Amino acid sequence: MAIMRQFGLLVWKNYVQQKRQILVTLVEILLPLLFSCILIVLRQKVPFKDYPNATVYESYSVDLLPKKFLREFQLAYVPGNSSVVRQVAEDVRVRGFETEEQFEEYVRNDPLSGNLLAAVVFEHHFSHDDEPLPLKVSYHLRFSFTPRCAPPKEKSELNPNSDLDWHTLSLYPLFQLPGPREQKLSIGIALIGDSKVVMLDEPTSGMDPSARRATWDLLQGEKRGRTILLTTHFMDEADLLGDRIAIMAGGELQCCGSPLFLKNKYGAGYHMVIVKDALCNVSEISRLVHMYVPNATMESSAGAELSYILPKESTSRFELLFAELEMNREELGIASYGASVTTMEEVFLRVGKLVDSSLDIQAIQLPALQYQHERRSHDWTTDDASSISGMTDVTDFTDSGTLISEDCSNIKLNTGVRLHLQQFYAMFLKRALYSWRNWKVMVAQFLVPLVFTIVALVVARTFPNHKDAPQLRLALSRYGPTRVPLALQPGAGPLASALANVYSSQLSAQQDFTDYILTQAAEEGGRFNERCVVGAAFRGSLYAEATAYFNNEGYHTPATALMMVDNALFKLLAGPNASIQTGNYPMPRNVSEVAQSQLTEGKMGFAIAINLMYGMASLSSTFALLLVTESSIKSKHVQQVSGVYLSNFWFSALLWDLVNFLLPCLLMLVVFQAFEVKAFVDHNHLVDVLLLLLLYGWAVVPLMYLLSFFFSTAATAYTRLTIFNMISGTATFLAVTIMTIPDLNLEDLSHLLDKIFLIFPNYCLGMSFSQFYQNYEFISFCTSSHLSDAICKILNITYQPNYFSMSEPGVGRFLVAFSVQGVVYIILLFAIELQCVRTVWRLLTSLGRGRKQVDDAALLPEDRDVAEERKRVLECQPIVESMIGSPLILQEISKVYGSGANLLAVDRLSLAVGKGECFGLLGFNGAGKTTTFKMLTGDESVTSGDAFIDGYSILRDIKKVQQRIGYCPQFDAILDHMTGRETLSMYARLRGIPEKYVSGCVENVLRSLLLEPHADKLVRSYSGGNKRKLSAGMALIGGPPVIFLDEPSTGMDPVARRLLWDAVTRTRESGKAIIITSHSMEECEALCTRLAVMVNGQIKCLGSPQHLKSKFGSGYTLLAKVHIETELEESDLQLFKDFIESTFPGSQLKDEHQGMVHYHLTDKTLTWAQVFGTLEAAKEKYCIEDYCVSQISLEQVFLSFAQFQHCTESGRK
């Protein structure tokens, strides 16, 4: 109790002291609140990542969707262009609901929904950067599962389907999960809790074929009892999973039905591709084809291939046609032939053509294999009969859209001074656009230092001046509500009683005054000291004796207590209305005291310095925002890969930021002039103040650039840099200032710290303004009169007539510190960018553990093609070869991650890519593809080996290498404050395309990638597919010798994907070397002249697509639809399956649902005629509604390597 009582008394004491300094208390409270509010406003306004209101797409009207999806055994797809799909997925009014809450209420009350809410999962990935805690996967699943109103016994069963492989990753934080695993987590969240309605927006985007098929199996197993609505750009995914497929265009439903129905209605039939020998007789082949299939049309005859379209209604005659071709192969000059059925992609393109007649589909509708050879050939000839298909000629397409390789690849690029000026302009314009598009942030960063400075000036003006202080009137009202206890001693005379009766708080006759005070203090604690400040006691029989009591916790209480007794006596003598007014007058100060107070306090300069540092701490932090954003999304790396010189990148940013910094500095001078701060406005001192501010900007801006490397998100960078600036400025300034107080005897330490803290621009700013103001005060006083000069000498006060003197209180040393800081920070910045430390570290660790692990790792047995490629690369002269025939050569390049248990991500990769070659680098997630790209582009260090691009080593000449490559990263590295046209123009200038050709080249890219309608929209409003198109255009523009494309078509619809293929193929034909990674096997067949499959960082197979299919794949793919009755379902299907397995030994059943069966016919001796003849003969017996036969795909070859990929996805990429 005693401790509590003492604590209460101390609290009351401090409260009373603060109460008497109301202004100081308000300043201490309001300034932090004001600063916090400004920080919060800035945080909300700075465009770090999310732009919820930035979309500028026109609103789509979604019409004629199916009124009701079946709830049992159905998967429904709505493929379409990205913007349309997004609108459909997000617009809950599709089913007539105005809000999501109404939709949830409907599902709750629907008896078929099982009282469970609908699960809606869009394509948006989890945001690592904005996540406050590193939540683990199992926590996310539990969080998503709990609210779904599941019975209590089910809530503990948080065991997602094993197909998602949670048992190995459920304890990993989200930031350690690669992108495909995040997609699986999204799917798991949607499915957990037995949701009856599930919406998935491109759930397999970014997954490799193996992971995609595992997801398909999961969805097939989970669809029973659910209604699942999916959107996708993979037509094979829609074909396999969709029980019904709805195709949308222009916001309206165009068609809906089963995959087989849509193929029959919109498909062209079979595509027969014949590979010609040197003596091929095309006319005789055409005569033979038309003899057996009169309605057949020649699709194309280009290069080594001949293609025909065979109508599906003529399948009964295919057996005779194929048999005739088999018997007369040598006479007709046929090397080989194959057939493929209409795909869902062709259906999609055909529907798009019917909707938009202006869309030219001929060049983009060709099958993949044919498309590859078509693009490889310069002999574009098409039979007139192709017009039957309702599509225009290929030449119309190429003429109507002049592409990159035709106009821009042969332009002579700028070099030398012109290139430097052009790049500097591009980088300067980028910064200007960022400021212009984020003008609210600009205004805020201007106002923050002004607000703090104005507050400082207003507060400083309220400080008392150095004149004599006014009198203080003594009254009880100054202490607030109080009571005055009075004690009258028993037996006191009339005079004493009369004095006591003046007050109403007289104690009882039996109560002692001292006992009363102690009792009340014990009962009330600290409140007693606040309410009772004075008291009195009267006694005496003949003469009245008065004792005045006062509480020593309050100021002026003795005089107040005496005044109360005097007032009692005066009222007794002069009447009840009489009173005495008492005042306290301080002693007048002499001249020396006034001078000492004026010269040593320096309140105005101190207040300005403190608040200016607060304002500048916030302002200077904003200079790192764009840099952190560029680094986090890899945009800066792509700009470097596109050829930007470091000097242009950094000095353009520095110039623009200094121009921006000049504006608030000028406004601050206006404030000083408006408040008539004589120290800063007299004798043209405004110029001196402006010089101080600009030199501070020269020092602090490079420091912010340097510190930006430590952050990965703009929000974190802004907050922590602001705190750093405050600590390095305000804390250091206060420490040194306090230590200069003579009574502390810390002046030597303050001088030492002053020299150390000169490395901080914010400290130099505060000290320079404080001492500048102090020096002005010294000069003004000490030179005002001889007496003042004598006082200054007595007080040992010195001043500097030259404000920029190196001695105190001159600010010269701070100017020098500013200048040196800027130079040193820029040097450190370039040292980091030039990877000096990284180079030294690489040399020191070249014989370290990582290199040793590479050397010790056993090289597994290689395929013959891979071994021959390795031998050829190791025996060549890489510098000469890369300059003449192979722009890209990799020699034993390796990468090891981690310490301790190191991970060998890339294992001695050796290959060469020639001019005019498109090389496909395939592999599962975590195989090392993206790591290889990062090493080749300089984003990752190389553990061992080397690579040469256009004659330059990536180890010794990485900057020259980066100027010769184009790079489309796996994730979009584009700045969302620019438009598509502005982005492509910037990269065209970085490449050195002359200014007069920039607009033309940009238009070619926009037209070739179908981006013209969105060219002038901000990138932040682009859909995922359009962003990928823009990323690909950034890599292709300017025609660099080597181009890296990392999954360029992910998220694109089929039309956009084929247009990209056309642009890539034409770029390759212009002599460029292209290296591409993709999870789309059709894309690889369409583009790549050679392929390599990576497994565990090593190449397992190498060769052309057809070579790999012939070497690692065999047989045919059979899809058949059997007409079944519900009650006889099992027996009908089983009879047909028994027939297939007995007729084609070794056949493998891949899929079966709703009467549709998918078989892999593995017999290598089978011919097309035998397969079609057998199926035609069995068509009526087994009620076969439809069937299709095609050659084994490249994807099946790819999947054959899945068993060799170990599960290290989380660490490889």
Alpha-carbon span 890 to 935, nearest angstrom: 11
Q: What percent of the chain has pLDDT over 90?
A: 18
The predicted pLDDT at position 666 comes to: 92
- Give the full edge-to-edge strand order of the sheet including 270-276: 297-302, 305-310, 270-276, 334-341
The predicted pLDDT at position 1030 comes to: 92
Residue 710: count of CB within 10 angstroms of its CB: 13
Q: Which of 103, 113, 69, 88 is nearest to 228 (CA)?
A: 69
The predicted pLDDT at position 639 comes to: 92
738 found inside a domain: yes
CATH at residue 1120: 3.30.70
Q: Is the pLDDT of residue 77 over 70?
A: no
The predicted pLDDT at position 817 comes to: 96
480 found inside a domain: no
Most confident of 186-195, 462-471, 758-767, 834-843: 758-767
Most confident of 170-179, 252-261, 1010-1019: 1010-1019
The predicted pLDDT at position 23 comes to: 46
Q: Is the pLDDT of residue 979 over 70?
A: yes
Alpha-carbon span 782 to 659, nearest angstrom: 39
472 found inside a domain: no
Q: Is the pLDDT of residue 627 over 90?
A: yes
666 found inside a domain: yes
Most confident of 204-208, 325-329, 608-612: 608-612
The predicted pLDDT at position 370 comes to: 40
The pLDDT confidence band at residue 196, using thresholds 50, 70 and 90, is confident
ω into 180 cis (within 30 of 0):
no
The predicted pLDDT at position 36 comes to: 58
Q: Is the pLDDT of residue 585 over 70?
A: yes
Q: What is the mean pLDDT of residues 68-74?
A: 38
Q: Is the pLDDT of residue 934 over 80?
A: yes
738 lies in the same domain as 658: yes
973 lies in the same domain as 1076: yes
Q: Is the pLDDT of residue 129 over 50?
A: no
91 vs 1123, residue with greater confidence: 1123
The predicted pLDDT at position 65 comes to: 41
1032 lies in the same domain as 1180: no
128 vs 630, residue with greater confidence: 630
Q: Which of 627, 612, 769 is nearest to 688 (CA)?
A: 769
Q: Is the pLDDT of residue 234 over 80?
A: no
Q: What is the mean pLDDT of residues 1173-1188?
A: 80
pLDDT digits (tens, 9 = 90+) for 915-925: 889 999 888 77
Q: What percent of the chain has pLDDT over 70?
A: 72
CB-based burial label for 326 (10 Å; 0-12, 13-18, 19+)? middle
The predicted pLDDT at position 38 comes to: 57
Q: Is the pLDDT of residue 1005 over 70?
A: yes
Mean pLDDT over all residues of the chain? 75
pLDDT digits (tens, 9 = 90+) for 1027-1037: 888 999 999 89
Alpha-carbon span 1000 to 995, nearest angstrom: 10
845 found inside a domain: no
Alpha-carbon span 1040 to 868, nearest angstrom: 28
The pLDDT confidence band at residue 814, using thresholds 50, 70 and 90, is very high
Q: What's the token pair of residue 363? A: 């060049």
688 lies in the same domain as 754: yes
The predicted pLDDT at position 648 comes to: 94
Q: Which of 432, 403, 412 is nearest to 986 (CA)?
A: 432
Q: What is the mean pLDDT of residues 948-970?
A: 87
Q: Which of 700, 704, 705, 709 is nearest to 650 (CA)?
A: 705
Chain centroid to CA 610: 35
Alpha-carbon span 1031 to 1028, nearest angstrom: 5
Lowest-confidence region among 168-182, 362-376, 980-994: 362-376
1212 found inside a domain: no
Q: Is the pLDDT of residue 954 over 50?
A: yes
Alpha-carbon span 970 to 1063, nearest angstrom: 18
Q: Is the pLDDT of residue 59 over 70?
A: no
732 vs 208, residue with greater confidence: 732
The predicted pLDDT at position 8 comes to: 52
Alpha-carbon span 172 to 480, nearest angstrom: 62
712 lies in the same domain as 767: yes
246 lies in the same domain as 280: no
Query: Any long-range contacts for 1132-1138 (C-beta under 8 Å, 24+ apart)?
Result: 1132/1182, 1132/1183, 1133/1157, 1135/1182, 1136/1182, 1136/1184
The predicted pLDDT at position 1212 comes to: 39
Q: Is the pLDDT of residue 1056 over 70?
A: yes
pLDDT digits (tens, 9 = 90+) for 545-576: 888 888 888 888 888 888 888 888 888 788 77
7 lies in the same domain as 153: no
Q: What is the mean pLDDT of residues 948-975?
A: 87
Choose one of 262, 284, 306: the last residue of a domain.
Answer: 262
879 lies in the same domain as 964: yes
Q: Is the pLDDT of residue 44 over 70?
A: no
406 found inside a domain: no
Choose one of 208, 241, 262: the last residue of a domain.
Answer: 262
138 lies in the same domain as 22: no
Q: What is the mean pLDDT of residues 900-907?
A: 72
Q: What is the mean pLDDT of residues 68-93?
A: 39
The predicted pLDDT at position 173 comes to: 55
Residue 955: count of CB within 10 angstroms of its CB: 18
The predicted pLDDT at position 1211 comes to: 39
978 lies in the same domain as 1090: yes
CATH at residue 1024: 3.40.50.300
Q: Is the pLDDT of residue 356 over 80?
A: no
Q: Is the pLDDT of residue 454 over 80?
A: yes
Alpha-carbon span 531 to 15, nearest angstrom: 13
Q: Which of 712, 793, 1010 is nearest to 785 (CA)?
A: 793
Q: What is the mean pLDDT of residues 358-382?
A: 38
Q: What is the mean pLDDT of residues 44-52?
A: 45
Torsion angle of the four alpha carbons 563, 564, 569, 572, in this order, in degrees rounded to the nearest 10: 130
CATH at residue 282: 3.30.70.600
Domain with 1154 in it: 1114-1191
The predicted pLDDT at position 434 comes to: 92
Chain centroid to CA 597: 56
677 found inside a domain: yes
288 lies in the same domain as 174: no
Please give the radius of gyration of the chain, using alpha carbons only, rounded to the nearest integer. Answer: 42
Q: What is the mean pLDDT of residues 1093-1108?
A: 84
The pLDDT confidence band at residue 406, using thresholds 50, 70 and 90, is very low
Q: Is the pLDDT of residue 116 over 60?
A: no
The predicted pLDDT at position 815 comes to: 95
Beta carbons of 88 and 248 less than 8 angstroms apart: yes
Most confident of 644-648, 1172-1176, 1184-1188: 644-648
Alpha-carbon span 614 to 448, nearest angstrom: 9
The pLDDT confidence band at residue 387, using thresholds 50, 70 and 90, is very low
Lowest-confidence region among 308-312, 354-358, 937-941: 354-358
The predicted pLDDT at position 1071 comes to: 86
927 lies in the same domain as 999: yes
Q: Which of 160, 159, 181 is nearest to 172 (CA)?
A: 181
Number of domains in the chain: 7
Q: Is the pLDDT of residue 219 over 80?
A: yes
Lowest-confidence region among 149-153, 349-353, 1107-1111: 149-153
pLDDT digits (tens, 9 = 90+) for 816-841: 999 999 999 999 999 888 876 666 66
